Structure 1
Amino acid sequence: MTATTHPTPAPFTTEDYTARMARVVDEALEVGLDGVIVTPGPDLVWLTGYRPTAVTERLTMLVLSPGIRPTLLVPTLERPDAEAAEGAPGVGIVDWADGNDPYQVASGLLQTDGRFGISDSAWSLHLLGLQRALPETHYRALSTSLPMLRAVKDANELSRLAAAGAAADAAYAEIVRLRFSGRRETEVAADLARLLREFGHEQVDFTLVGSGPNGANPHHQPGERLIQPGDAVVLDFGGLMLGYGSDTTRTVCVGEPSPEVQQVHDVVRAAQQAAFEAVRPGTTCQEIDRAARSVITEAGYGERFIHRTGHGIGVTTHEPPYLVEGEEQPLQPGMCFSIEPGIYLSGRFGVRIEDIVTVTGDGGRRLNNTDRHLRVVE
């Protein structure tokens, strides 16, 4: 086995981070906010490149408001790390020392009666502290006020997602060469994790292996069950490479599949293809869900498709947009998300097929390209 190689993407620049922060300010104004408060998590990484080495009770937050230079408030002992972040040249850094009230320091960065979007991951300790220091301020969750904050990817982000997808594909191409029968789910999952790292992932987020009846649980965690001849096995795996996510699912069969396993797999494959063909700018997220669901419903398995059709992906493996009924967000070029319909027959087996797809100017492009037909393994 030889590791795949991918062109190394250019580093994100100060200008990239500055443009992202400016865009967030503009979008905040459009929805009636006076600014945005970003605490440690994926939004902070995306906006500044800063990932605190440890997320603790000490207040860390980025403040973005119109007419004011972006400012990152950090504990004094973490200032050197913040100054070393890729996007640090584009922000002002203010620190606070242990023994001082960080919320009083923060109050000097915020409009006293402002309306702010705040990260969903903000600790209630910090939100209550801000409210105590500035009782006239109001706060809204970023997931509701700016849900598409990171949804549209630029060319550099797309190249990282494509590399992560290709690496996950390479891991799949190797795992199906190994023996499944007589091995525990945990053993196959460990092989998947090893392969993802060998093909370039710096972080493995999940390696779900659901064999036989366990495949009917969409989020089954690998266990000690011995994989048997005739089992359908759901393989769902991914993580981060170059700071961006991979997430793919294939269902394989140990030995020749039964007619029912083959039939169900054919239905899921047709549903996944129908959803992919529905991708184009202007189409709403719920229409992609409907395209997949209608195929499965017409085949008589509608009640066995028990989750949304997909989720966005970027610096995390799950983020907006979500492909689900009721989500009327129109697709835009550069959005990236999974398409992963499934059928789950309780106590018997399950089938899921998943690719990451990006919206192009006139349709969609898959970032996973392994064979979607039912693969027979030993």
Structure 2
Amino acid sequence: MSRRHAARVAAVRRAMAQEGIDVLVLRPSPDFRFLSASPEGALPEGVLPEGGAPDGGAGPGVFLVVTADAIVETRDPAGLVPASARRVGVDPEMRASELFRLAIAAELVPASAVLAPLRLRKDPAELTALGRAVAAAEAVLAQAAELAWFGATERTMARRLRLLALESGCEEVISLRVSAGEHTARPEHVPGGRVINPGDALLVSVCGRWDGYCAEAGRVFAVAEPPEDYEAMYSVVLAAHRAALAALRPSVPFAELARTVHEVIDASGYGRFAAPHVGRGVGLGHDEGPRAGEDAVFAPGMTVCLEPAIYVPDLFGARVADVVACTAAEPVPLGTRPHTLHVLDR
């Protein structure tokens, strides 16, 4: 066990004692990765990610069990839970079938009470790993800008993006977004059969996991030329993004950053079209703390994906997504890709 891993395990055991939790039982998940002794962010050999087996099966059933004096990877976690255990922290992503197989008589509580606060602040090695993941996601977008978009469908381009992501070393593609024209105004749009034509706005983003860490990069394109009034609306999104970046400082509540974003958009006249969600924490998970709705306050080492957006129904929308680290001095964007509205010429 490395010194860094030993310190992490010791911090978890202190938190377990404070929460009155005797044992943790974790399935393959971000929490599993956080406590695994494997190389940073990676699952041990033979252990599949939280999605399970490639065919949708349950996977190999390996668990991580943490007690006061041991930390063990096992296929039989129930056998390692002491009979005296009164409260057992289980992975929030535990499946019902897995819980039944545990057959533990103790009270079961979410392990997140212990692990979520410890995962909030990333150490320098984690920030470096996140930076590599962001660079990989941005490289996929850079390649996407060189593809032929005219006449292709959203679904076809999403497949090409997925292939680019996998070729870049992405171990899990979490989400891909390709929205064209009026579909850019639909936050939850799934790429479909719409043909991409000149004059269309495009929202393109890739979210995935590289070497255990998650990153998303999202940008706005236009095909041949942007729609009328689109650049003006997009400039508001960029102004909101800059305001969010300026507000991301230690001791600032996440809710205040969200208010800052909405004030900028409200002042532009697009207030009723603003996305309520302005960002989320990223790290070993793609959607973790800090969160605006949890009274979160920024501190050095926290990392968030800033993603202000405006969606005008049946017309168009714009969104950018960037991973940013909060530091003691100033916020540090982990990516370098510019926010310029890129006009595709093919």
Shift of 1:111: 5.7
Partner residue in 2 for 1:255: 224
- Report the count of equivalent residues: 331
Q: 1:268 aligns with which of 213, 216, 237?
A: 237
Residues 148, 321 of structure 1: 8 Å contact kept:
no
Name the SS for the 2:286 alignment partner.
coil
CA deviations over 1:290-328 (Å, ceiling 9, x no partner): 221221122222332234211222223222222x2x332
Shift of 1:270: 0.6
Residues 171, 196 of structure 1: 8 Å contact kept:
yes
State yes or no: 1:221 paired with 2:222. no
Shift of 1:156: 1.7
Quickly say closer, same or farther: Cα 1:173–1:133, change in 2 above 3 A.
Answer: closer
Quickly say closer, same or farther: Cα 1:347–1:32, change in 2 above 3 A.
Answer: same
Quick one: distance in 2 between partners of 1:116 and 1:284? 32
Residues 25, 35 of structure 1: 8 Å contact kept:
no
Quick one: distance in 1 between partners of 2:5 and 2:312? 46
Quickly say closer, same or farther: Cα 1:253–1:31, change in 2 above 3 A.
Answer: same
Residues 42, 315 of structure 1: 8 Å contact kept:
yes
Unaligned runs of 5+ in 1: 1-12, 75-95, 97-101
Residues 200, 227 of structure 2: 8 Å contact kept:
no
Residues 152, 335 of structure 1: 8 Å contact kept:
yes
Q: TM-score, normalised by structure 2?
A: 0.86
Q: Describe how 1:183-332 pairs up with structure 2 within 5 A.
A: 183-322=152-291, 324=292, 326-332=293-299
Task: Give me the identity figure in percent.
Answer: 31
Q: 1:349 aligns with which of 302, 316, 321?
A: 316
Residues 282, 332 of structure 1: 8 Å contact kept:
yes
Q: Describe how 1:327-342 pairs up with structure 2 within 5 A.
A: 327-342=294-309
Quick one: distance in 2 between partners of 1:337 and 1:354? 10
Residues 250, 372 of structure 1: 8 Å contact kept:
yes
Q: RMSD of aligned C-alpha atoms?
A: 2.4
Name the SS for the 2:73 alignment partner.
strand
Unaligned runs of 5+ in 2: none
Quick one: distance in 1 between partners of 2:35 and 2:93? 15
Q: Describe how 1:1-378 pairs up with structure 2 within 5 A.
A: 14-48=2-36, 49=38, 50-51=43-44, 52-53=47-48, 54=53, 56=58, 60-66=62-68, 68-74=69-75, 96=76, 103=78, 105-106=79-80, 109-110=81-82, 112=84, 114-128=86-100, 130=102, 133-134=104-105, 137-144=106-113, 146-322=115-291, 324=292, 326-378=293-345
Residues 141, 206 of structure 2: 8 Å contact kept:
no
Quickly say closer, same or farther: Cα 1:59–1:249, change in 2 above 3 A.
Answer: closer
Structure of larger gyration radius: 1
Residues 119, 141 of structure 1: 8 Å contact kept:
yes
Quick one: distance in 2 between partners of 1:276 and 1:163? 20
Letter in 1 for 2:336: N
Quickly say closer, same or farther: Cα 1:14–1:146, change in 2 above 3 A.
Answer: closer
Quick one: distance in 1 between partners of 2:96 and 2:167? 39
Structure 1 stretch 331-340 or stretch 254-263: which is displaced more? Answer: 254-263
